[in-house]
């Protein structure tokens, strides 16, 4: 049975609540498909929203950055943050401009992040961050050395306060607009790869790994 996450004052979705969900498994599934998140946090004088790579490791979201970055320093310092991941599924073209919409799956998470300092857990988190983006790559590249690990802040944010919003399906025009002569429907959008471009300095005859040639996000087809 699916597990429902608790709803808080700030995670309560107000507009079109029928599109809301607090299902943990659905949140995980959306997070596992996405490539980037947007991290929002306040520093006291300003508010920032920064795009970042991420990975899900069980019930926590992993983030990483240079130890020198404001973002890593702020997050490791325990500021409150909100993280959003959005999957775009299509443009919804209604007969009226007002009813145009998008099909999407999005997750908003709230909480704090803490820095992972234990070298074993830090290496595991860096592995998960790499494997989230391109499964198979961690074992097929030089892994980070001590200096590189020390230069990186790795953060873990518990996935406890989450809201999900999804829209799917055709446009929802008013009945009185249904006779209008305009095309209406959904233009599906998907992230797909094009042919990989070898580094010009790549040694001749270096084979293209299958995890590159067959790359696809979970549930999506690979090539254009
Ligand atoms: C790709 C995309 C495009 C969108 N474009 C627009 C747009 O142009 N204009 C517009 O008004 N709305 C847009 N939305 C919807 C928007 O994200 C909000 O859902 C909407 O503004 C209504 O918010 P609210 O007032 O109900 O919630 P708020 O009161 O603003 O938020 C309350 C809580 O609801 C939850 N929540 C709100 N929205 C989402 C979400 N999308 N996903 C997960 N949790 C959420 C959060 O926990 C939030 O703290 C878009 C959504 C997506 C994914």
Query: CATH number, domain at 56?
Result: 2.30.110.10
* Confidence check: pLDDT of 16 > 90: no
In a domain, 188, yes or no: no
By most ligand atoms within 8 Å of CB, the mutation choice from 12, 15, 191 for ligand 1 is 15
The residue whose CA is least distant from atom 3 of ligand 1 is 102
Closest CA to 84 of 194, 163, 197: 163
Residue 204 lies in a domain: no
Name the residue with the closest Cα to ligand 1, atom 19. Answer: 15
Question: Does 182 map to a domain?
Answer: no
- How far apart are the CA of 53 and the centre of ligand 1, in A? 21
Tell me what the mean pLDDT of segment 56-74 comes to. Answer: 91
Mean of all residue pLDDT scores within the chain: 94
Which has the closest alpha carbon to 136: 214, 76, 205?
214
User: Given the structure tokens 């249904």, which residue do they identify?
Assistant: 178
| Residue nearest atom 32 of ligand 1, based on CA coordinates | 13
Would the pLDDT of 1 be above 60? no
Domain that holds residue 63: 17-173
Residue 131 lies in a domain: yes
Distance 81 CA to ligand 1 centre (A): 17
- Residue-level pLDDT at 69: 86
Q: Is the pLDDT of residue 222 over 70?
A: no
Judge contact between 94 and 16, C-beta under 8 A. no
**78 CA distance to ligand 1 centroid (A)?**
25
Q: Which residues contact 67 (CB under 8 A, 6 or more apart)?
A: 73, 150, 151, 152, 153
Average pLDDT over residues 148-168: 95
Number of structural domains (the chain) is 1
> Is residue 203 one of the residues assigned to a domain?
no
Whole-angstrom distance, CA of residue 184 vs CA of residue 190: 19
What is the structure's pLDDT at 70?
Answer: 83
Cβ count near 189 (within 10 Å)? 13
Which residue CA neighbors atom 34 of ligand 1 most closely? 13
Q: Which residues pair with 109 in a beta bridge?
A: 83, 162
Nearest CA to ligand 1 atom 47: 11
Residue 220's pLDDT is what? 77
Answer yes or no: is 6 within a domain: no
Which residue, among 54, 65, 1, 64, has the nearest Cα to 30 in the 3D structure? 54
The larger pLDDT score, comparing residue 70 to residue 159, is at 159
Is residue 44 a part of any domain in this protein? yes
Question: Does residue 205 form part of some domain?
Answer: no
What the block records as the tokens of 196 is 């990989």
Which atom belonging to ligand 1 lies closest to the Cα atom of 167?
A: 53
């Amino acid at each position: 049975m699916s597990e429902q996450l608790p709803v808080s004052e700030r995670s309560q979705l107000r507009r079109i609540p029928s599109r809301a969900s607090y299902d943990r498994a659905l949140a995980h599934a959306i997070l596992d498909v996405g490539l980037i998140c947007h991290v929002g946090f306040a520093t006291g004088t300003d508010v920032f929203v920064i795009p970042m790579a991420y990975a899900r490791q069980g019930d926590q979201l992993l983030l990483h950055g240079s130890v020198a970055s404001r973002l890593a320093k702020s997050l490791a310092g325990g500021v409150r943050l909100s993280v959003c991941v959005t999957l775009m599924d299509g443009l919804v073209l209604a007969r009226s401009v007002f009813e145009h919409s998008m099909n999407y799956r999005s997750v908003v998470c709230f909480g704090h992040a803490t820095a992972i300092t234990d070298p074993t857990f830090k290496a595991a988190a860096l592995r998960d961050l790499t494997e989230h983006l391109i499964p198979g790559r961690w074992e097929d590249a030089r892994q980070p050395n001590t200096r590189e690990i020390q230069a990186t802040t790795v953060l873990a944010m518990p996935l406890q306060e989450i809201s999900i919003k999804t829209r799917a399906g055709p446009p929802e025009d008013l009945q009185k607009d249904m006779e209008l002569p305009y095309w209406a429907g959904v233009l599906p959008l998907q992230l797909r790869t094009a042919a990989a471009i070898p580094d010009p300095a790549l040694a001749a005859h270096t084979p293209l790994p299958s995890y590159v040639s067959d790359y696809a996000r979970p549930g999506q087809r690979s090539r254009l």
